[in-house]
Structure 1
Amino acid sequence: MAVTPSIEEIKAVIFQLPIEELIKLIAEIEERLETVTMMQVAETGFKEWNDPEEDIYND
């Protein structure tokens, strides 16, 4: 079973990284956030497709 570290534990490790690694980490985090945000925005465009009446085709 994996143990999830606390935010404080994560920060303690992150702040020990060299500046170059911090820059890379920030870039990766920003990319992940952009992807998640775009996916959330895209989901709103498909809400009209969630029509319960069309579920008859799933049977």
Structure 2
Amino acid sequence: MSVSLSIAEIKEIIGQLPVSVLQDLLQQIQEQIETEKFMQLAESGFSEWYDPEEDIYESKT
């Protein structure tokens, strides 16, 4: 499902939420950001291992 909202619309919706829901939303957003940052760090750690010439799993067909 894809929803297209402007930032102004999102701000308006967020402004109508109760504080408890805002706290939960903030926590979920922070967790998502942390996960994304860790994934980027992990990915950069494997870049030195990537060698297309040695990719034995790459299909040659």
Q: TM-score, normalised by structure 2?
A: 0.83
- Where structure 2 has 5 or more consecutive residues not aligned to the other structure, the ranges are none
Cα deviation for residue 48 of structure 1 reads: 1.2
Shift of 1:50: 1.5
Match of 2:35 in 1: 35
Count, aligned residues: 58
- CA deviations 1:4-52 (Å, max 9, x no partner) are 1011101110111011110000000000000001000111100012112
**Percent identity among equivalent residues?**
52
Moved over 6 A (4+): none
- Give the helix-richer structure, 1 or 2: 1
Gaps of at least 5 residues in structure 1 are none
Q: CA RMSD in A?
A: 1.6
After the TM superposition, which residues 4-43 of structure 1 pair with which residues of structure 2 at under 5 Å, given as runs? Answer: 4-43=4-43
Give 3-state SS (helix, strand or coil) of 1:20's partner. Answer: helix
